[in-house]
Amino acid sequence: MDGYIHSIESFGTVDGPGVRMVIFLQGCPMRCLYCHNPDTWEPAQGAKMSAEDILRQYDRNRAFYAHGGLTVTGGEPLLQTDFLLELFALAKERGIHTCIDTSGITFAASDPACREKLDRLLQMTDLVLLDIKHADSACHKKLTGHDNAPVLAFARHLAERQLPVWIRHVLVPGYTDGEEHLRTLGRLIASLSNVKAIDVLPYHTMGVAKYETLGLSYPLSGLDAATAADAARAKQIILAAFRESR
């Protein structure tokens, strides 16, 4: 089957270990105020590509991926689980390290068919990059338009399976940088036994031009970017709470 692909980055270095081919899939149910890829929101758009198309492109640069692999991101890649099942099955046949970068928002614990399909995909997944937008449900909804219950349920599901996870958190001034929120996030991460890394990413304004091109109003207009020092400080608060809870 074909997947709807927004774009492909041939030499990604921040979306999993090593040098990676990063596939940006089209479609996302969330509307994060700080999203810098609004052009990935709409589903069933972008270029249609088969799993074989992607892996042929991977093979052309395979020598560079010796210590890396393949990462799917978005948008929200788990909106195209059927396509990922085919892509990852072929990738594992080739011995490729597979990674999913997701918000976890599509997790439906009460839907047996959805959960069975997801678990088949996770069996072929080596690493999950889980983006936790906010530890507080009301704040998460204000920030993304969605409650965080599916995200937290997904995080627990990954922990039950002992699938390696890197937690990602975007530090947005005035939204996700409060000390109590960061401590709550640290305690939450401490409850997950499968977390291998924690990344705090500073909010940036590089997506503003895309909104202008698309004729969209930028929700955080006028908000200054966070600094690397801000992110480092936030990470120390998260880690302190993490250690206290262990």
Q: What is the pLDDT of residue 57?
A: 97
Distance CA 128, CA 27 (A): 19
Q: What is the pLDDT of residue 244?
A: 97
Distance CA 14, CA 1 (A): 28
| Residue 215 scores a pLDDT above 90 | yes
At the second CATH level, the architecture of 2-245 is Alpha-Beta Barrel (3.20)
Q: What is the pLDDT of residue 246?
A: 84
Q: Check: pTM over 0.85? Answer yes or no.
A: yes
Q: What is the pLDDT of residue 94?
A: 97
Q: What is the average pLDDT value for the chain, to the nearest integer?
A: 97
Query: What mean pLDDT is predicted for residues 97-103?
Result: 98
Beta-bridge partners for 170: 201
φ, ψ for residue 13, nearest 5 deg:
-125, 5
| Residue 127 scores a pLDDT above 90 | yes
Distance CA 99, CA 114 (A): 19
Query: What mean pLDDT is predicted for residues 93-103?
Result: 98
CB-CB neighbours of 163 under 10 Å: 17
pLDDT tier at 220, thresholds 50, 70, 90: very high
